[in-house]
Amino acid sequence: MSDTLKNIITNIIGLLLLGLNVYMFYFDEVELTHFCVILCISLALFLFKGTKTKEWLSKGLSKIISK
């Protein structure tokens, strides 16, 4: 799979997650902290290329897991 196709897929997933997040915040009364966490994840999926996001996630998770 090419990088452009992966980028398009992650952009679509990010937008869907953003829409779901806003819906849940307004209608299901999700807490603000949960809203902010999902918002950061969805914007990271939408704004950055999949390869960069994968690198950042692996670095962040390795730091969390190694503690």
Q: Given pLDDT bands bounded at 50, 70 and 90, which one contains residue 25?
A: confident
Rounded to two decimals, what is the model's pTM? 0.65
Q: Which residues, at least 6 apart from 39, have a Cβ–Cβ distance to it below 8 Å?
A: 18, 21
Give pLDDT tens digits for 37-59. 888 888 887 777 766 767 777 78
From the list 34, 14, 15, the residue with the least C-alpha distance to 24 is: 34
17: pLDDT strictly greater than 80: yes
33: pLDDT strictly greater than 80: yes
Domain ranges of the chain: 3-66
Give the chain's mean pLDDT.
80
30: left (phi over 0), alpha (psi -120 to 50) or beta: beta
